Amino acid sequence: MRHNPEILTVVPACCAVCAAPAARAQGIAGVRPARVKVEVLGGYSFMRSNTVGSSTRVNLNGASGSAAFFFKDWLSVVGM
């Protein structure tokens, strides 16, 4: 099997770029991060399925959202 040199350089670079925010989110020892007051989430899902006993295909689309308000670091209210 022949390897594509562009893929061998692009994939590790993309992994490093995607991992950088997670590494940064761990913080620095002795420094307390800023307290978050509100978190908002939005999402979309898609599922494609075949029905049992026939070849009919079903497509399901959906959206979801939620928000959380933090009173303290350990207490929040979430609405969906």
49: helix, strand or coil = strand
pLDDT at 73: 79
Q: Where are the domains of the chain?
A: 5-26+35-79
Low pLDDT (below 50) residues in the chain: none
Convert the pLDDT of each residue in 15-32 to its tens digit.
666 665 655 555 566 666
For the whole model, what pTM was predicted?
0.46
Contacts 24+ apart (CB under 8 A), 74-77: none
Tokens of 41: 């989430």
